[in-house]
Structure 1
Amino acid sequence: MKKLSRRSFLGNTTLLSFTGLLGLMPSLYRGRQEQKKVFIHHVYFWLKNPDAAADKEKLVEGLNTLKTIDVIRTAHIGVPASTNRDVIEKGYNISWMLLFDNLEEEEMYQKHPVHLKFVDNYSHLWSKVVVYDSVDI
């Protein structure tokens, strides 16, 4: 049996490791492609009384009740940022952004009793609502 030198052993080991990694590349890439796509539901609220802090607090209180709906992956309540560029819409008072795994889960959210109760209990606070739904491409 031929004895391998340390240099030869390390060289062969490195080559084998690299070859193995190349063999895994297609499956790693395929795994990235097969990641769940995200459904984003972004709602912008214009309050009837935009200067009334109590109305803003009440709407935020209502939005927080929606976070209990189990199909929501991520929820975010926000206000306009202090950024200033011509393309930025800052006329809304509160934004509500939700991430779902798919359209079906967003539709479940729309029909959920907690969501329906939210609309009944808090819709008197807003004068306008604009919704942007988007999906990964």
Structure 2
Amino acid sequence: MNETTRRKFLLSSGLAALSAAAPLAAEPEKKKDLFVHHVYFYLKNPDSAQDEAKLREGLDKLAKVPTIQLAHIGSPAPTNRSVIEKGYSVSWLCFFKNLIEEEIYQTHPIHLKFIEEYSHLWEKVVVYDSIGPKR
């Protein structure tokens, strides 16, 4: 095999190998990356223990959505630094295997019922969604 032909062969076989692997490399990130969904609820009546308890009741029900891997209901911690946001009443943190699983959660009947039954309690909701680092 002469040098020119050998180079062409190596180049073409390398391109063939890359094209065979391309579907794996091009797999949508929405199927691969851990998805974190963090919601901060600002209650209309932030001093109402009853409203907070009611919201927590709803979040306990919401935690039953099957695509949720782990859920945590929280309150502002007793920490005091200028960068800490403490104006919210309740936080809702949940983890999903990927974006697709989170999208299922968004349209799941339990989630839709939660919004319908409990949205009257809050004046504002702030959501932070994140995925793992780019590889």
TM range (shorter): 0.7 to 0.9
1:99 aligns with 95
Give the superposed CA RMSD: 0.8
Structure 1 segments (4+ residues) deviating >4 Å: none
Structure 2, gaps ≥5 residues long: 1-31
Cα shift readout 1:83-108 (whole Å, capped 9, x = no counterpart): 10000000000000010000000000
User: What TM-score do you get using the length of structure 2 for normalisation?
Assistant: 0.74
Cα distance, 1:37 vs. partner?
Answer: 3.3
User: What TM-score do you get using the length of structure 1 for normalisation?
Assistant: 0.73
Identity fraction in percent: 63
User: Alignment partner of 2:55: what SS?
Assistant: helix
2:71 aligns with 75
1:120 aligns with 116
Larger Rg: 1
Task: Tell me the number of residue pairs that the alignment of Structure 1 and Structure 2 aligns.
Answer: 102
Structure 1, gaps ≥5 residues long: 1-35
Cα shift readout 1:28-49 (whole Å, capped 9, x = no counterpart): xxxxxxxx63100000000000
